[in-house]
Structure 1
Amino acid sequence: MKHSLRHVAAAVTALAMLGTPALADTPPNVLVVAQNIDDIVALDPAQAYEFTSSEYMANVYDRLVQYDAEDTTELVGGLAESWEIDAENRTITFTLRDGVSFHSGNPVTPADVVYSFKRVVALNKNPAFILTQLGWTPENIEEMVTGEGNTVTLKYAGDFSPAFVMNVLAARPASIVDSQLVMENAVDGDMGNAWLNTNSAGSGAFSLQMYRPAEMLRLVANKDYFKEGPKLDQIIIRHVAEAATQQLLLEQGDVDIARNMTPEQVAALPEDGFKVSIHPQAAIHFISFNQKVPALQHEALWEASRYLIDYEGLTSTLLKGQMETHQAFWPKGFPGALEDTPFSYDPEKAKQILADAGVELPINVEMDVFNFAPFTDVAQSIQASFAEAGINFDIVPGTTAAIITKYRAREHEAIMLYWGPDFNDPHSNAKAFAYNKDNSDDGYASTTTWRNAWEVSDEMNARTMAALSESDPAKREEMYLELQRDVQAKAPFVIMYQATLQVGMDEDVTGYVHGASSDLVFYRLVEKN
């Protein structure tokens, strides 16, 4: 052990857990995490739609099928041990595992599954759309989801690939709740919503022992979990907003993991006793051109722009530890991601592309950018490199809310943004970057194609929907790879980077799993040696 005060009085340790300064390391059976958790709005699976809430649900609740700690890229059985897919009749029948119980001790039954899905659809809160896209409504849900014996039968309406449906069922609102416990705590017809935002009713590797908003989450191990682990007795996630404070707490031994340190703070960690893990994240960063602006409609401009970004220079300086070069709309870390990066900084090639196409220069364009680092710094670098080819960006910094509002109204010219999937299926991003059936101002769609007024070809629209319905997994993956190649080469988007996360931790911590999205953060296999 590298610290001399690892085993001290329990009273001193308790003070450390509550945020009071102490001279001790965390106890060997407890993992303490420093993290900014003030994004939490809800903990109810039918309502939660925030990053930290998603991590919480991945550890406290199970789904019929899920991505899990052993391999975050493989869809496996959760509460279901097997399933039969009838694609022709748009039906999937799941057989539940025997002997699985909720934290309360109540057995997991088909009735709990039916109730959980019915509850999400009936409450119709933020994440409900993920399930309702299967054609489920408050009026038909009891016909679409039924249980009998030890099986659950799900029907869906729509020409969907079964793989798409399975990925929807692995999303956070598909978490299964203890119907008996939730109904016991319902108030005024809220189906237990208020209670579930401060309590848990799951079957996962951990249960919620305590939640104090913007202060802490304390999770306790479910020793009867049906999979391996948990290895530790408790997970305590302390709200620490300041990155510098996280670094200090980690170096002092008051926390085992620091989640939100800056790259500079990560680099400053002592080599002795600490380590850093690097995790690609789902957010794709890009520049897009609004096709309502005549000067931005030329395809040669889109092509030239891909050669006016110093990808390598930025990732090794301003973006070091925060981004890696990625030039396709589906993120690395998910099955079916295109990892080719064919574009590099070549201003002479960009100039030639523009000249050959007869593009009239200079082009003067406003570019909306979030008014905080690293976005403002990256924008200034891009401003300088684009100017070499006669494309002059007037950078317009703004708050996140103001820029997103402007973007949704299609009132921008150029914009630098990021985009992440709503669930772990490539259609989640394909519909955003390769589909736009109605480009009219009245045809609002929550996609970057519509918001940039890009009238996607009928052919690409058809291919996007064909991939959604393709039942052969290998063929479906190749269809999405081809869509990514086409958008990468010929669309008014310049996809530049994928976010990465650096997590600092005590060298004694092993088994921490952090996949490409917040739904894929797992503490079940963590140990402290």
Structure 2
Amino acid sequence: MNFFRAALLATALALPMASTASLAATPADVLVVAQNIDDIVAIDPAQAYEFSSGEYVTQVYDRLVQYDAEDPTKLVGGVASEWVADDAAKTITFTLRDGVKFHSGNPLRPEDVIYTFNRVIALNKAPAFILTQLGWTPENIEQMVTADGANKVVVKYEGDFSSAFVLNVLAARPGSVIDAETVKANEVDGDFGNAWLNANSAGTGPFKLRTYRAGEMLALEANPDYFKGAPTLRQVIIRHVAEAATQQLMLKSGDIDMAKNLTPDQVGGLGEDVKVETYPQAAVHFLSFNQKIETLTSPAVWEAARYLIDYKGMTDSFLKGQMETHQAFWPKGFPGSLDENPYSFDPEKAKKILADAGVTTPIKVTLDVINSTPFTDMAQSLQASFGQAGINFEILPGTGSQVITKYRARTHEAMLLYWGPDFMDPHSNAKAFAYNEDNADDKYQSTTTWRNAWAVPEELNKETKAALAEADPAKRDAIYVDLQKKVQANSPIVVMFQAQKQVAMSPSVEGYVNGANSDFVYYRLVKKAQ
């Protein structure tokens, strides 16, 4: 970008509230996005475990196999051109593509893949559990991922599951292959380059990180040597804009090309000069109760809660077009989903459930919530409806990272949050909502069950493991449906909605792809029509 155009863009970014007449359009080869990205805790792919960081990782890194922009529903080769699975021996042999280079210019080698997986297991950050499901430990990982010649990697796994499940695991975020030589050169005090990768990138992806300022912006620069072809755009700039109203003004004035967090009312008021695309999402939104809080441990409280949510009132108003009622942990539209919604808003029934169980009201409960739309609106609706049965919420708003960090520490009382699958297999959500074999404080698990200190009944733990081991697809789906019914009826985690993503953009923007979850967001094919 020449000096004049760089200065023009900088001026536009600095003046989001200026009038339309004083602003030029964003440059033709730069996409400027307004988005709430304050949920980001980390951008190192071995640590990144938030929705916004998932979007970032997909732009910058590739995996051995992955769901890609051309068809986000189909698993294809990433940096691996082909693979051969041996279910009996529990191995998969991957052949690496020729000519793939990291952003540094270093060539991709089997050693990079081996280092990537060793590093995830050694660091043991939030998403590491995705890979440890394969029986990988710090003690055996060097034997589980090995090189076979100059361009093959052999992956071994342990457990009662098929290679299809393993491929979905390897396509998840912590499978993102990193440049071993570059990361090792930036290691400090044995951190495996973690601090450096939280401010820099070392991938093979279509974009590389140019600038990251937490709570402010992510700037990505195109990789001209990407093995699937260079992106049309030269840069993607994602600006942190928490206020939906500000995003709307910026889009209408031409300061940005895309707004990702508008309310239904704002979407409806954009006019014909802006186009809006709707993308079904895999994320489910839930209310949960920490079982360390004595007043929240009664199953009667859990059951009553299901009748104290004004599902229709919310989806008909401020959630219209952005969420639909869905009361099971695996999202609608995927094999094995439970699509029955047996609960509706009924305060009188809720009060009777509490009274019959001898639950003393009023109950005072703090409710943690991300301080942005639509979460604050949802929290206020819950505060009003639960109050009718004597459950009084004190709303505690915070940034996404603050709320999520508190949730991981199990220091909340009630939590309003969302969950998306870590990989596109129903076990991802079943393990999160229906499994917890060790509820000890020092046995951290990236699941809603552990984070809410819910010691899951052994029946559910066994059934979750049985579903994972089932080879017959129809039987496997049936087990997951049964699990969802049991969790739906008796759990301190109340699933309420499934998300739909509405993205507003300039009519000039073409080729944007937004799949079912945050890992399936792609800017590689985007272009701006002239």
- The interval holding the TM-score normalised by the smaller chain is 0.7 to 0.9
Q: 1:441 to 1:104 in 2, by over 3 A?
A: closer
Deviations 1:344-378 (A, max 9, x none): 34567778x859x9655875433432365124312
CA distance in 1, matches of 2:291, 2:191: 43
CA distance in 2, matches of 1:217, 1:27: 17
CA distance in 2, matches of 1:336, 1:24: 49
Q: 1:292 to 1:243 in 2, by over 3 A?
A: closer
Q: 1:229 to 1:474 in 2, by over 3 A?
A: farther
Gaps of 5+ in 2: 16-21
Amino acid at match of 1:11: F
Residue 402 of structure 1 and its aligned partner are, at CA, apart by 8.2
Residue 465 of structure 1 and its aligned partner are, at CA, apart by 0.7
| SS of alignment partner, residue 374 of structure 1 | helix
* Kept in 2: contact 1:207–1:222 (CA 8 A): yes
* Stretch deviating more after TM superposition (362-371 or 198-207): 362-371
**In the TM superposition, what are the counterparts of 1:403-414 in structure 2 within 5 Å?**
412=413
What is the total number of aligned residue pairs between the two structures?
Answer: 512
| 1:157 maps to 2:150 | no
CA distance in 2, matches of 1:96, 1:176: 12
Amino acid at match of 1:29: D
Q: 1:233 to 1:370 in 2, by over 3 A?
A: same
CA distance in 2, matches of 1:313, 1:76: 41
CA distance in 2, matches of 1:105, 1:404: 36
Deviations 1:293-350 (A, max 9, x none): 5896456x75565444332122112433553211101234655433333433456777
Residue 522 of structure 1 and its aligned partner are, at CA, apart by 0.9
**In the TM superposition, what are the counterparts of 1:70-469 in structure 2 within 5 Å?**
70-149=70-149, 150-186=151-187, 189-227=190-228, 230-280=231-281, 282-288=283-289, 290=291, 297=298, 305-332=305-332, 336-345=336-345, 354=353, 359=357, 364-370=362-368, 373-383=376-386, 387=388, 391-399=389-397, 412=413, 415-421=414-420, 423-424=422-423, 425-437=425-437, 447-449=447-449, 456-469=456-469
Deviations 1:14-36 (A, max 9, x none): 42246244621122222111234
Q: 1:196 to 1:76 in 2, by over 3 A?
A: same
User: What is the percent sequence identity of the aligned residues?
Assistant: 56
Amino acid at match of 1:497: F
CA distance in 1, matches of 2:436, 2:184: 42
CA distance in 1, matches of 2:404, 2:56: 29
Residue 292 of structure 1 and its aligned partner are, at CA, apart by 7.7
CA distance in 2, matches of 1:232, 1:295: 51
Amino acid at match of 1:396: E
CA distance in 2, matches of 1:418, 1:442: 23
CA distance in 1, matches of 2:412, 2:32: 45
Amino acid at match of 1:59: Q
| 1:16 maps to 2:9 | yes
Relative to the length of structure 1, the TM-score reads 0.83
Question: Could you tell me which residue of structure 1 aligns to residue 470 of structure 2?
Answer: 470
Amino acid at match of 2:141: I
* Kept in 2: contact 1:119–1:191 (CA 8 A): yes
CA distance in 1, matches of 2:110, 2:404: 45
Question: Could you tell me which residue of structure 1 aligns to residue 19 of structure 2?
Answer: none
Relative to the length of structure 2, the TM-score reads 0.83
| SS of alignment partner, residue 329 of structure 1 | coil
Deviations 1:158-209 (A, max 9, x none): 3344343322212222111122333344455544444433332211112223
CA distance in 2, matches of 1:39, 1:354: 36
Q: 1:75 to 1:407 in 2, by over 3 A?
A: closer
Largest Rg, 1 or 2: 1
* Kept in 1: contact 2:379–2:395 (CA 8 A): yes
Q: 1:175 to 1:333 in 2, by over 3 A?
A: farther
Amino acid at match of 2:377: P
Amino acid at match of 1:423: D
